[in-house]
Structure 1
Amino acid sequence: MKPPPHTVDEVLPPRDLAVFGLQHVLVMAASPITAAFLVSRALDLPSDVTVNLIAATFLVCGIGTLLQSFGPAGIGARLPFIMVPGGAPIVLFVTIAKQAGLPAATGAVLLTGAFYLVAVPLFARCLRFFPRLVIGTMLVLVAVNLISIYGGIITGRPGTPGFGDPLNLGLAGATVVFTALFVRVLPGTLSQLAVLFGLLAGAALAWVTGVMRFDAVFSGPALSLPSVFPFGWPVFDPLAALPLLLFSVVSMAEATSQTVAIAEIVGREGDAMRLVPRTILGDAAASLLGGCFGTSLIITSGENIGIVQATRVRSRFVTAAAGVILVALAFLAPLARLANAVPAPVVGGTAIIVFAIIGGMGIDMLRRVELRDNRNMFTLAVALSFGLLPILVPGIYGQFPPTLQIILGNGLAMGTLMAVLFNIVFHHFGRPAPAASGEVPHRAA
């Protein structure tokens, strides 16, 4: 008798695939739209270019998600991953564009995508320096960093008239509460859709209060066609590309933590480190494709890890369905406008609870580390010190040279770097300790 497929390989009924896939899309849809608007507003791009960038970002995220879900030719982890434009790469893309021009920014993305391909074999040999202590710390920093970013989306910028608007805060808080209540009251499979229902309930409340409007959904063209090289032929300037090249190392470390986290959720812990290079190759392919369509780096998403943990729906075919929906969004302009109509506080509230789940996963991972060992405790303390400072005190390194600010001001980068370095110092130099990986040793019952 043929054994049943692993849960990650289970093909759900089409209706479930569509609904669970839509849940992933609605939670991450703000990222492509926000990324395109940030680039457009920072660089004063025309509105038609903005629409083109939104469509292109949805398209590349969809194709990248399909690559990660199916893993053809070893490109992609065959795990339930969603791809999004990274937040830090967007800032670096805009910085490069302002300093060296948009063609150079496009060339920087393509150079970084190619660097991923070259660096993967070397990085794969360094995976032993990423035990639970390092990965758990990274997940906590990822959660705090993303909550900080989406908290800013909810409240607005300090000093602006709408900053801290009680209505926006109320919508975000209500969305969080709705989501938790749906987990509590809905039975069986329906409770697995709590994130989606929470977002829809928050959107309905926004509509009742007049915050959400549908006027723009059906205005404008029905189809959108992303353009190849919308900023002209790329210029390959390694010096201009240096910030993105440096970030790619952090991105590979982040991909490592996300692969380990998602592998644990779906029950493939033993395959996690073997799958890391495949995840990074999927990021490389999506980023190279994104560079051709004018986007910044397209990388694996932390959002969907929280959704998989919350819903316990582990099938990679669900994220594949999400990839198909994202590709449809790229060409069907009204669908993209509908996703854009969901108010930022509602999306932010959904994102915050999902990111908090990621932080909980990091805490759970650290719980399995022997923190009574001072070496592990001080590794964690140093990593959190350097990682949390730039997140909690923005601009703390504003007096430093711009090149140093790129690294020091990135809390995830600094926290990860310190965790890796001090783990090496304490556990890989001199006589190794019994718990060299930083994990709690198994005890007999």
Structure 2
Amino acid sequence: MSEKTVSINEVPRIDKWLLLSIQHLFAMFGATILVPLLTELPPSVALVSSGLGTLAYLVITKGKIPAYLGSSFAFIMPIIAAISIGGPEGAMIGSFFAGLVYGVVALIIKATGVKWLMTLLPPIVVGPVIMVIGLGLAATAIDMAMNDPATESYSGIHFSVAMLTLLLTIIGSIFFRGFFGLVPILFGIVGGYIAASVAGIVDFQAVREAAWFEAPEFIVPFATYSPAISWEIVFIMVPIALVTLSEHIGDQMVLSKVVERNFVEDPGLHRSIMGDGVATVISSFIGGPPNTTYGENIGVVALTRVFSTFVIGGAAVLAVAFGFIGKVSALINTIPQPVMGGVSILLFGIIASNGMRMLIDNQIDIGKKRNLIISSVILVVGIGGAFIQVTDTIEIAGMALATVIGILLNLILPGKDPVRSTSEMFEDMSNNDEKKESA
């Protein structure tokens, strides 16, 4: 390891601790607030839930995994669909059940191991579903970029702001280095916001009127609403948890490689998955979107070689504090729709591309008829919006249906590739790194 490495259990000097934690806060900030803005949930609650969820995760993983949790992009479409059916409260019920799935899976993994999950969700299923998640949101991004929300019609000014925001985000992604290379989303949002202000489409009145310290708009069961289970919402959101579970395993493998410790073995995949599940349940209790480990923050860990979970915990505490600063929340809410649309064009495309990358990285041969059939059916069913009407009030639609069909096709069709254990995957990643270094 590098001499500059800050170990997992090391407590940095207080001034260094604060700066390193702020760095993590900025890395996750742009993406974490984007999810609630797209789904019309309170951004301040998302900040609080990400902080509380991260602290819970650190406790459950015994302070051994330096991972920050933020709002999950995989749940954007399910949340929007759930809100259209049962309002924000309905989305929280769906999020709660998605968190329970994590908990059940964690308990099964502890008892039986993880191979069954890898059999159920191989890359040929998860990759195309991730592509559906990104491509299914494409129309939403373009609508936000092109249209004036007041008239719901085309606006040249709004589209220009969106394109400038997109350009700035691309510039940040390609040309920035070091820490700034990890926050292109934040750079694009700030630059687009300034352009929107110059164009006169930002209203600062709410910021002027907001108090400095203000409680977020929490959505709390039995306090702000009476919970009622909608099975349609459950069927929309729960299958997505299966997909994010596979992403979670990938994140743990990457983080293990960065820190040079096999977190899948110690503290164990069951603990990290349970941590994700508890974080999502906590979020559902206060009105935030489901949480997941964040690639941006894994990037910060890799870049800085600061592995201290105390630094991650510090960022979590700061996120909770930010959620209670009224003027910050009001400022976030003034971000215009075209700015969000411009950033989303790139982000949703990256999500879809990551699904394709999963297929490539795992050397999935699409020329093989079995793989071609599974991926093709998942893509068309998911993006096309197919659904099964179970009852008058329950339907399985879109990504959820595509996930279920993909799982079934993978189990039924002959010619299945052998399933690798997580230990084998970790060894392959390490061997690939050694080959790259020797080359």
Do 2:53 and 2:283's aligned partners in 1 also have CA atoms closer than 8 Å? no
Aligned match for 2:366, one of 360, 364, 371: 371
Do 2:219 and 2:285's aligned partners in 1 also have CA atoms closer than 8 Å? yes
| Counterpart position of 1:380 | 375
Distance 1:144 1:6 in 2: 39
| Counterpart position of 1:22 | 26
Deviation of 1:380 after TM superposition, in Å, equals 1.0
| Counterpart position of 1:393 | none
Q: Does 1:67 align with 2:67?
A: no
Equivalent AA in structure 2 for residue 420 of structure 1: I
Deviation of 1:325 after TM superposition, in Å, equals 3.8
| Counterpart position of 1:220 | 210
Residue range with higher mean Cα deviation, 116-125 or 363-372: 116-125
- Shift of the 325–346 alpha-carbon distance from structure 1 to 2, 3 Å rule, reads farther
Aligned match for 1:137, one of 128, 148, 167: 128
Q: Does 1:254 align with 2:243?
A: yes
| Counterpart position of 1:299 | 291
Q: Does 1:117 align with 2:96?
A: no
Equivalent AA in structure 1 for residue 369 of structure 2: N
Q: Which ranges of structure 2 fall in alignment gaps of 5 or more residues? A: 421-427, 432-439
Distance 1:285 1:118 in 2: 11
Equivalent AA in structure 2 for residue 249 of structure 1: V
Distance 1:372 1:354 in 2: 28
Deviation of 1:336 after TM superposition, in Å, equals 0.8
Do 2:47 and 2:322's aligned partners in 1 also have CA atoms closer than 8 Å? yes
Distance 2:131 2:94 in 1: 29
Aligned match for 1:211, one of 174, 179, 201: 201
Residues 76-95 of structure 1: pairs in structure 2 closer than 5 A: 78-84=66-72, 86-87=75-76, 88-89=78-79, 91-92=81-82, 95=85
Deviation of 1:82 after TM superposition, in Å, equals 1.3
Distance 1:56 1:137 in 2: 31
Equivalent AA in structure 1 for residue 47 of structure 2: F
Do 1:75 and 1:282's aligned partners in 2 also have CA atoms closer than 8 Å? no
Distance 1:350 1:320 in 2: 28
Distance 2:257 2:222 in 1: 42
| Counterpart position of 2:325 | 332
Equivalent AA in structure 2 for residue 374 of structure 1: K
Residues 256-405 of structure 1: pairs in structure 2 closer than 5 A: 256-263=245-252, 265-266=254-255, 268=257, 277-293=270-286, 295=287, 298-300=290-292, 304-305=294-295, 313=303, 323-367=316-360, 368-390=363-385, 402-403=392-393
1:370 partner SS: coil
- Shift of the 313–214 alpha-carbon distance from structure 1 to 2, 3 Å rule, reads farther
Q: Does 1:199 align with 2:179?
A: no
Q: Which ranges of structure 1 fall in alignment gaps of 5 or more residues? A: 38-52, 391-395
Do 1:109 and 1:291's aligned partners in 2 also have CA atoms closer than 8 Å? yes
- Shift of the 242–215 alpha-carbon distance from structure 1 to 2, 3 Å rule, reads same
Do 1:127 and 1:273's aligned partners in 2 also have CA atoms closer than 8 Å? no
Q: Give the aligned length.
A: 406
Q: Does 1:153 align with 2:141?
A: no
Distance 1:202 1:134 in 2: 36
Distance 2:117 2:327 in 1: 46
Distance 2:119 2:3 in 1: 33
Question: Percent identity at matched positions?
Answer: 18
| Counterpart position of 1:243 | 232
- Shift of the 186–397 alpha-carbon distance from structure 1 to 2, 3 Å rule, reads closer
Do 2:221 and 2:227's aligned partners in 1 also have CA atoms closer than 8 Å? no
| Counterpart position of 2:436 | none
Distance 1:111 1:130 in 2: 19
Distance 1:178 1:347 in 2: 13
CA RMSD of aligned residues (A): 4.4
Distance 1:232 1:416 in 2: 35
Distance 1:195 1:233 in 2: 33
Output the TM-score relative to the length of structure 1.
Answer: 0.73
Output the TM-score relative to the length of structure 2.
Answer: 0.74
Equivalent AA in structure 2 for residue 81 of structure 1: L
Do 1:138 and 1:257's aligned partners in 2 also have CA atoms closer than 8 Å? no
| Counterpart position of 1:162 | 152
Deviation of 1:414 after TM superposition, in Å, equals 2.1
1:212 partner SS: coil
2:291 partner SS: strand
Deviation of 1:327 after TM superposition, in Å, equals 0.9
